[in-house]
Structure 1
Amino acid sequence: MSRILLIEDDHAVRVGLATALGRYGHDVVATATGEEGLRRHAQDAAELVVLDLMLPGIDGFEVCRRIRAAGTVPIVMLTARGDDIDVVSGLEAGADDYVVKPVEPRVVDARIRAVLRRAAPAAPGRTSAWGDLVIDRAAMTVTRAGRPVAMTPTELRLLLELSASPGQVLSRQQLLRTVWEHSYLGDSRLVDNGVQRLRAKIETDPSSPVYIQTVRGFGYRFGPV
């Protein structure tokens, strides 16, 4: 059973989604405001946060930024629109995935389980080092210049996927399928934002990346040039 913090101001949506997720086997704490959600998360950190973006008071974008600044708990955001500006802003604030309302609870449950699977141990592997970047695939840890690099499950899974085949170009569609487990492969925003956040953590100069290179029109390649 996973502990889920649901932050949603719409009463009907909050109650309906909390009830359904409980039936799917999750232990759900539901709150109506960003302030209350932050307080409950500080008291008893959830394993995953389902967060509505359009909240009264502190909005979902700010809640997302504060939760992300405090740790690496996965965040699935709920947005009432599929507009690029909302989705991109939410991803830039630190969300790992998103769903557009109205949405069936089974879809939210599927996204929750997909995100949580990213935190599961990777297949047996090896410790690999590229310069001062060290990836321990068995321990699921990353260090840079001898210091641990804190990563969300999505960021770590993306790095593990890219670094599994150094020099090989992986398309955005491949990464969406293997990292995010998305059946709809048209949303490259998840991949591009994930790479952007990953570069900010492992690159000396994210604007001139050494470890993760963009292959224009196709995808990304891992390996120092």
Structure 2
Amino acid sequence: MSAKIVLIDDDPETVETLGELLRRNGYEVVGVTNPEKALSTVFLQNPNLVVLDIMMPGVSGWEICSRLREFSSVPILMLTCLSRDEDKIKGLELGADDYLVKPFNPREFLLRVRKLLERATAPLEEVLVEVGELKVDLTGGKVYKRGKEVYLTRRERQLFFYLVRHRGRTVSQDELLEALWGLGWKGGKNLLKTYIHRIRIKVEDDPQNPCYILTDRYAGYRFVAE
């Protein structure tokens, strides 16, 4: 069964052009040119991916992204003419999974779509990791500290689990950014630092002196092996 993609852009020509490109590559596409109908369409269609423009009249892509995250974890690829790092970081903080600046190469667009869908459907390995007073259930997507569940947001969980899967190895900031936020993403290291800090507050006894998520200066982050 082909993946279903909801394409949201107030420009009918863009919806038609990208929709045809996606259909030619085997995807089912539902186009939305009225941003007021974006949320209801995603809710009713239950897609595998949302492609979302930012600059739209009435309801912006920022608002749609934020409200989508209130009820859905569907991968979101933002398309926009805004190229500043601050705008990219804002989109990722609101819950987008990737951010592509217009104009873009159609092949890059298709590659990012494929990568997002692959990440969303990749099965978790059946493994339970226990280190110190932490228990990480990679299959069930849960983290426990001294037997009590630790609540992590979707993005915090993705980041933490990536480090746990690569425990004992220093993972560079660029690798983390690309793995979690998309192909070629090289910005937002302050955003990454913020997420690491939030996770440490939840899993460490002393976030200022962590014993689970260590910082290897100038190299990256490492989850202890044992």
Render the CA deviation track for 1:67-117: whole Å, top value 9, x for unaligned: 112121111101113112221111111111111111233322211111121
What residue is the counterpart of 2:202 in the other structure?
204
Determine the C-alpha separation between the residues in 1 that align with 2:43 and 2:117.
Answer: 20
Determine the C-alpha separation between the residues in 1 that align with 2:169 and 2:132.
Answer: 19
Structural mapping, 1:1-225, within 5 Å: 1-119=2-120, 120-122=122-124, 124=125, 126-130=127-131, 133-137=134-138, 139=139, 141-144=141-144, 145-146=148-149, 151=154, 157-176=158-177, 178-179=179-180, 182=183, 184=184, 187-189=186-188, 193=191, 196-197=194-195, 200=198, 203-204=201-202, 208=207, 210=210, 211-223=212-224
Please state whether the residue corresponding to 1:116 is helix, strand or coil.
helix
How many residues align structurally?
A: 218
Determine the C-alpha separation between the residues in 2 that align with 1:204 and 1:135.
Answer: 13
Distance apart, 1:64 and its partner CA = 0.4
Determine the C-alpha separation between the residues in 1 that align with 2:128 and 2:203.
Answer: 24
CA RMSD in angstroms comes to 3.1
Q: Which runs of 5+ in 2 are unaligned?
A: none
Q: Which runs of 5+ in 1 are unaligned?
A: none
TM-score, normalising length: structure 2: 0.80
- Would the aligned equivalents of 1:79 and 1:87 in 2 still touch at CA under 8 Å? no
TM-score, normalising length: structure 1: 0.80
Distance apart, 1:26 and its partner CA = 1.0
- Would the aligned equivalents of 2:150 and 2:202 in 1 still touch at CA under 8 Å? no
Determine the C-alpha separation between the residues in 1 that align with 2:198 and 2:88.
Answer: 20
Distance apart, 1:168 and its partner CA = 2.9
Identity %: 33
Please state whether the residue corresponding to 1:134 is helix, strand or coil.
strand
CA shift in 2, pair 1:205/1:164, >3 Å: closer
CA shift in 2, pair 1:218/1:39, >3 Å: same
- Would the aligned equivalents of 1:3 and 1:28 in 2 still touch at CA under 8 Å? yes
